[in-house]
Chain A
Amino acid sequence: GAGVSQSPSNKVTEKGKDVELRCDPISGHTALYWYRQSLGQGLEFLIYFQGNSAPDKSGLPSDRFSAERTGGSVSTLTIQRTQQEDSAVYLCASSFGGKETQYFGPGTRLLVL
């Protein structure tokens, strides 16, 4: 009965390094979302997975960002060649399906030095 979990809670990296952020959705939820929360941009959508459908990647800010969802459950958001403007809190959410309530994890706070 656990909620959405994310790891790590905090990540500090150097500019130019790659990072991977992990999200474990609520069991049984078919939809998974990534959002980013930053001081300058507020809360913004990144990517959305629904079942076996092709993901909606319309919110990814650049081709340095990618995400995958393995086995319809766990998801990994990868940021390549990190930049300082990537510093933000990355939030994951899941839901039973489209148009259902999204439940959020606690987020991963990323700091790029």
Chain B
Amino acid sequence: AQSVTQPDIHITVSEGASLELRCNYSYGATPYLFWYVQSPGQGLQLLLKYFSGDTLVQGIKGFEAEFKRSQSSFNLRKPSVHWSDAAEYFCAVVLTGGGNKLTFGTGTQLKVEL
């Protein structure tokens, strides 16, 4: 079945440590790929997106993500996490040729220990 998978429901990291959040998709064609962040009580904010081209994309707040076609993955990374990064992170896709609706993963809740 077509899906977006975020295997980690919760992740805890220490402030200053590196971070990698995993995202895998299961679609026949490469979709458009997004990472959104949601802070408590807030709407969703776009961190970065991949449509085509360079497979390493830079986003806001020091985040980056790498698209790996062979692994059907689009993992989000940050070299040094700040306490303010604590939030829920969602990977999402838009299917090429399938309208423009976002299909979201289940989210990863990030906790940052001081």
Q: How far is the CB of A8 from the nearest CB of chain B, in Å?
A: 14
Select which of B41, B51, B103, B106 is within 8 A of A45 by beta carbon.
B103
**Of A42, A48, A93, A105, the contact of B106 (CB 8 Å cutoff):** A42
**B44 x A91 contact (CB < 8 A):** yes
* B56 interfacial by beta-carbon distance below 8 Å: no
Q: Complex: how many Å from CA A4 to CA B107? A: 22
* Residue of chain B at shortest CB distance from A9: B41
**Closest residue on chain B to residue A106 by CB atoms:** B43
Question: Are A45 and B43 interface neighbours, CB within 8 A?
Answer: no
Cross-chain contact of A48 among B44, B46, B92, B101 (Cβ < 8 A) = B101
- In the assembled complex, the Cα of A42 lies from the Cα of B90 at a distance in Å of 10
* Known A104-B43, A106-B42: A42·B49 in contact at CB below 8 Å: no
A43 touches B43 (CB 8 A): no
Known: A42-B106, A101-B49. A48 touches B100 (CB 8 A): yes
Q: By the criterion CB–CB under 8 Å, are A48 and B90 in contact? A: no
| Residues in chain B near residue A48, CB distance under 8 A | 99-101
Which of B34, B45, B94, B100 contacts A50, CB < 8 Å?
A: B100
Q: Which residue of A lies closest to B101 (CB)?
A: A45
Per DSSP, chain A at the interface is strand
0/1 string, B96-108, CB within 8 A of A gives 1 = 0001111111110
* Contact across chains for A35 and B46 when beta carbons are under 8 A apart: no
Counting CB contacts under 8 A, is A26 at the interface? no
B99 touches A56 (CB 8 A): yes
Partner pick for A43 among B41, B51, B100, B104, CB 8 A cutoff: B104
Tell me the B residues contacting A by CB distance below 8 Å.
32, 34, 36, 41-46, 49, 51, 90, 92, 94, 99-107
Question: Footprint of B on A, CB under 8 Å?
Answer: 4, 31, 33, 35, 42-45, 48, 50, 56, 58-59, 91, 93, 95, 98-107
Nearest 7 A-B pairs (CB), nearest first?
A43-B104, A104-B43, A45-B101, A104-B44, A98-B100, A106-B43, A42-B106
